[in-house]
Amino acid sequence: MRPGFSFRGGILYAGVMRLRLATWNVNSVRLRVEQVARFVSEQAPDVLCLQEIKCQTGEFPVEAFAEMGLPHLRISGQKGWHGVAIASRLPIEDAAPVAACREGHARCVAARVAGVEIQNFYIPAGGDVPDRALNPKFDHKLDFFERLTAEMGRRDPKAPLIVAGDLNVAPGEFDVWSHRQMSKIVSHTPVEIEAMTALKASLGFIDLPREAIPEPQKLFSWWSYRAADFRASNRGLRLDHILASPGLREAAFRLGSASSRVHDDVREWERPSDHAPVTADLAL
């Protein structure tokens, strides 16, 4: 840490505040609310973006989140499927979610916290067949990316914006356990990588986890339930992302380097989600 700065209780002194943002496909918030509480206690995120909450808006465990110290909420729920939420220690202001889902699913929720707009997405997985003509789910996924990319291309790159969530694409050779074996599998096909590349280029987004942990180091945030020991097999994918607009570059690198990590230890907990949380710190 640079001399003259110190962290205490989420605040980076010398007139600068640390904003710790986390994204996590929790795979049912009611089932894993105790795990969420443990993660919040251990890692102290100021903003938590959740995907696949798998409940309707009125069924979200609001009181439990207030007890965690995250009382400020924006929730977009859906019965049995999908669903996204943003929970914050700090007061939330409204922001318009990007209307990128043609099916009307609960796949985006937005908020503004400490002057930063946060767009939290659960992009469709895309089914098993990587062909738009043969597989409507795959077509939906690419259409979602196209709509999102078009919207981001209209934004001001100087405005502080975070795009976070389960984007369901592992975009790089070192974001998958085997580039050769995964190149024909949905999540790492060339057309999906191209879609993710276009999204990043649309606003000049900064890939915060990759800035903190550069290639060629492998970096995963998802491991299949099929493996009895996910660490032993280590057939992971980096599907969960935190992208920052150029307007947040100074905040992301104020201490000299990006601060971001995948909390893969959470994947070891009892009855875990198949995704691990990802965090990134901004010094605002």
Of the two residues 14 and 151, the one the predictor is more confident about is 151
Q: What angle do CA 62, 17, 264 make, to 5 degrees?
A: 60
Q: Phi and psi (nearest 5°) for 143?
A: -65, -40
Ranking 45-49, 68-72, 252-256, 264-268 by mean pLDDT, the lowest is 252-256
Q: How confident is the model at residue 11 (pLDDT cuts 50, 70, 90)?
A: low
Q: Across the chain, which distance is largest between two alpha carbons, in Å?
A: 59
Determine, yes or no, domain membership for 168. yes
> Backbone phi, then psi, for 147, in 5-degree steps?
-65, -45
Cα 83 to chain centroid, rounded: 14
Tokens for 255?
């201490």
Query: Is 278 a member of any domain?
Result: yes
8, part of any domain: no
Is 115 contained in some domain?
yes
- Residue 59: CATH number of its domain: 3.60.10.10
**Domain-embedded: residue 249:** yes
Answer whether residue 3 is part of any domain.
Answer: no
pLDDT at 10: 52
Within a domain: residue 42? yes
The confidence score (pLDDT) of residue 27 equals: 98
**CA neighbor of 263 nearest in space, from 10, 17, 23:** 23
Instruction: Write down the pLDDT at residue 3.
Output: 39
Determine what percent of the chain is predicted with pLDDT higher than 90. 92
Task: Report the pLDDT value the prediction gives residue 12, as an integer from 0 to 100.
Answer: 54
- Residues forming a β-bridge with 22: 48, 279
Tell me if 9 is assigned to some domain: no
Q: Over pLDDT 70: what percentage of the chain?
A: 95
Question: Do 242 and 281 contact (CB within 8 A), yes or no?
Answer: no
Binned at pLDDT 50, 70 and 90, residue 6 comes out as: very low
Contact 102, 140 (CB under 8 A): yes
Spatial distance between the Cα atoms of 103 and 106, rounded to a whole number of angstroms: 9
Strands 11-12 and 84-88: unpaired
Please give the average per-residue pLDDT across 257-283, as a whole number.
97
Residue ranges making up the domain that contains 272:
20-283
pLDDT in tens, 28-73: 999 999 999 999 999 999 999 999 999 999 999 999 999 999 999 9
| 167-206 residue pLDDT tens | 999 999 999 999 999 999 999 999 999 999 999 999 999 9
**Alpha-carbon gap, residue 117 to 11, rounded angstroms:** 20
- Give residues with Cβ within 8 angstroms of 218, minimum separation 6: 174, 175, 177, 236
Q: What's the pLDDT band for 228 if we cut at 50, 70, 90?
A: confident
User: Would the pLDDT of 1 be above 60?
Assistant: no
Single-letter code of the amino acid located at 183? S
For the segment 128-158, what is each residue's pLDDT rounded down to a tens digit?
Answer: 999 999 999 999 999 999 999 999 999 999 9
Average pLDDT across the chain, whole number: 95
How many domains does the structure of the chain reveal?
1
